């Protein structure tokens, strides 16, 4: 059974009806509460705007960060909601709670075309509860905000891998529809997994290989090449017998990584590792640093305590060359500590290579999306910038995602 779409909902007429929209407003904030990357807010605007323009009274459900089931000022949805108001130009109100007096009163008072953002849904303990009854009870309170003839639209692909009340249970409490953002993400991910144009090159980075074990396992049989950078590369280098000095290392994953290298040698996707590394004396923006061969990281002036914080220039150039020869490229995870200029070179080179190629390119959300924007690249430089993060990886792993199965009525 396929999910009903936003177009299906609009065809039924939404003027005067309250529509709950699960959006992804989980944006990064600085120490003063300012939004540092508004990409997810921008991505959420089209569906909210379509509904408001059609006369719906829109109530937005969203989370930010990982509060522990109770209000925390630093995780308030308010900065993201203010950014939504600013960028969309819509009349956006902001509730002081999730399903309490403030949310209920504001939802009941909405006029056609107006928007209400309730507080961070994860302030409610039932949102993420493992107890089905608790989640279902909260979903009923969400549904009550919509009143008679309400509807629900899931437009938060970044949350569809969570069996949460605002993602899963609400889809059984109201007529449920797939938002355009979810639809578009699925089109892209199916293109990557079902019939990618080849050569298909996957670039994986980030700090921990353990975060990407399942996706590596799957992509070894789907992709043509896996280019491995970031902190996770050091576990691969150690698995080959190299001394990685003080670099990030997951000793408990060495046997698994060796099995991946063996599969690659036996004919699965080719695993390409850095040949040089930028090594720093300390984890600091102004730390002394040098470029070292990947098989002799500890042999330089910094020595055995050195920290590998980026792939080196030769590795970055080699990765860029392989990207240039690809027809499909998926990238998830920065190549180094891109927030520090001295260790941003690898990530910048990879991003530039994706921007320059005529291949179909997908930037896999999360830190990768934040990295390309912070380094000055535009979303339009890439074929698709995912809002999915962990959800995209779990889809690529072949897992069933609760938010999707709920929309399909399974």
Residues 14, 96: one domain? Answer: yes
Residues 263, 290: one domain? Answer: yes
Residues 139, 233: one domain? Answer: no
Residues 233, 93: one domain? Answer: no
* CA-closest candidate to residue 328, choices 348, 352, 365, 354: 354
Bridge-based pairing of strands 307-311 and 276-280 is: antiparallel
Please state, in angstroms and as integers, the Cα–Cα distance from residue 185 to each residue in 158, 222, 233, 383, following that order: 10, 19, 28, 12
User: Is 390 an annotated catalytic residue?
Assistant: yes
Whether residue 96 is annotated as binding a ligand: the answer is no
- Extract the tokens encoding 396: 């690529």
Query: What does the mean pLDDT of the chain come to?
Result: 95
106-150 pLDDT, tens per residue? Answer: 999 999 999 999 999 999 999 999 999 999 999 999 999 999 999
Residues 91, 13: one domain? Answer: yes
Q: How far apart are CA 233 and CA 250, in angstroms?
A: 10
Residue where one domain finishes, among candidates 184, 213, 247:
184
Question: Residue 191 falls within a domain, yes or no?
Answer: no
Whether residue 42 is annotated as binding a ligand: the answer is no
Residues 179, 224: one domain? Answer: no
Residues 180, 201: one domain? Answer: no
pLDDT at 211: 85
The H-or-E segment that residue 402 falls in is helix 402-407
Whether residue 389 is annotated as binding a ligand: the answer is no
Name the band, by pLDDT with cuts 50, 70 and 90, for residue 369: confident
User: Is 366 an annotated catalytic residue?
Assistant: yes
Whether residue 366 is annotated as binding a ligand: the answer is yes
Question: Residue 410 falls within a domain, yes or no?
Answer: no
Rounded to a whole number of angstroms, the distance between the first and last alpha carbons of the chain is 8
User: Is 399 an annotated catalytic residue?
Assistant: no
Task: Specify the number of domains making up the chain.
Answer: 2
* CA-closest candidate to residue 159, choices 25, 260, 255, 347: 25
Provide the CATH number for the domain around residue 111.
Answer: 3.40.50.1260
Question: Residue 405 falls within a domain, yes or no?
Answer: no
Residue where one domain finishes, among candidates 184, 214, 234:
184
Determine the structural domain holding residue 304 and report its residue range.
196-397
- Extract the tokens encoding 263: 């599969």
Catalytic option among 17, 22, 40, 83: 40
Question: Residue 272 falls within a domain, yes or no?
Answer: yes
Catalytic option among 100, 299, 390, 399: 390
Question: Residue 205 falls within a domain, yes or no?
Answer: yes
Instruction: Give the three-class secondary structure for 176.
Output: strand
Whether residue 57 is annotated as binding a ligand: the answer is no
Residues 162, 201: one domain? Answer: no
Residues 147, 247: one domain? Answer: no
Q: How many residues does the chain have?
A: 410
Whether residue 308 is annotated as binding a ligand: the answer is yes
Catalytic option among 306, 366, 388, 389: 366
**pTM, whole model, 2 decimals?**
0.88
Catalytic option among 78, 191, 208, 399: 208
Question: Residue 280 falls within a domain, yes or no?
Answer: yes
Question: Residue 179 falls within a domain, yes or no?
Answer: yes
82-113 pLDDT, tens per residue? Answer: 999 999 999 999 999 999 999 999 999 999 99
Question: Residue 344 falls within a domain, yes or no?
Answer: yes
- Extract the tokens encoding 304: 């055995």
User: Is 208 an annotated catalytic residue?
Assistant: yes
Contact 151, 19 (CB under 8 A): yes
pLDDT at 410: 60
């Amino acid at each position: 059974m396929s999910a009903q779409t936003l177009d299906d909902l609009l065809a039924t007429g939404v003027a005067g009806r309250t529509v709950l929209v699960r959006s992804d407003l989980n944006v990064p904030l600085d120490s003063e509460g300012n939004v540092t990357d508004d990409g997810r807010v921008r991505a959420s605007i089209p569906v909210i705007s379509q509904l408001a323009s059609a006369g719906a009274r829109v109530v937005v459900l969203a989370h930010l960060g990982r509060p522990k089931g109770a209000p925390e000022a630093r995780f308030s949805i308010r900065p993201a909601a203010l950014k939504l108001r600013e960028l969309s130009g819509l009349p956006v109100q902001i509730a002081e709670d999730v399903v309490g007096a403030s949310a209920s009163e504001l939802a009941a008072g909405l006029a056609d075309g107006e928007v209400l953002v309730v507080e961070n849904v994860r302030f409610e303990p039932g949102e993420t509860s493992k107890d089905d009854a608790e989640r279902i009870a909260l979903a009923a309170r969400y549904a009550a905000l919509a009143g008679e003839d309400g509807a629900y639209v899931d437009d938060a692909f970044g949350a569809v891998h969570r069996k949460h009340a605002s993602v899963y249970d609400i889809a059984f409490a109201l007529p449920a529809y797939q938002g355009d953002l979810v639809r578009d993400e699925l089109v892209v991910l199916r293109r990557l997994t079902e019939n990618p144009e080849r050569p298909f090159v996957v670039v994986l980075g980030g700090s921990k290989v353990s975060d990407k074990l399942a996706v590596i396992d799957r992509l070894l049989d789907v992709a043509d090449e896996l280019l491995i950078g970031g902190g996770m590369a050091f576990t691969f280098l150690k698995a080959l017998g190299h001394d990685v000095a003080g670099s990030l290392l997951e000793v408990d994953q060495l046997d698994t990584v060796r099995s991946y290298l063996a599969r690659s040698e036996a004919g699965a996707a080719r695993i390409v590792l850095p040949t040089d590394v930028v090594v720093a004396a300390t984890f600091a923006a102004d730390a002394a640093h040098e470029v070292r061969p990947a098989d002799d990281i500890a042999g330089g002036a910094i020595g055995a305590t050195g920290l590998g914080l980026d792939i080196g220039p030769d590795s970055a150039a080699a990765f860029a060359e392989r990207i240039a020869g690809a027809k499909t490229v998926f990238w998830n995870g920065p190549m180094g500590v891109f927030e520090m200029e001295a260790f941003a070179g690898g990530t910048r080179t990879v991003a530039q290579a994706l921007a320059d190629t005529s291949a179909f390119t997908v930037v896999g959300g999360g830190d990768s999306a934040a990295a390309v924007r912070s380094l000055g690249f535009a979303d339009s430089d890439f074929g698709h910038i995912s809002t999915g993060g962990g959800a995209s990886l779990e889809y690529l792993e072949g897992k069933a995602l609760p938010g999707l199965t709920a929309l399909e009525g399974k």
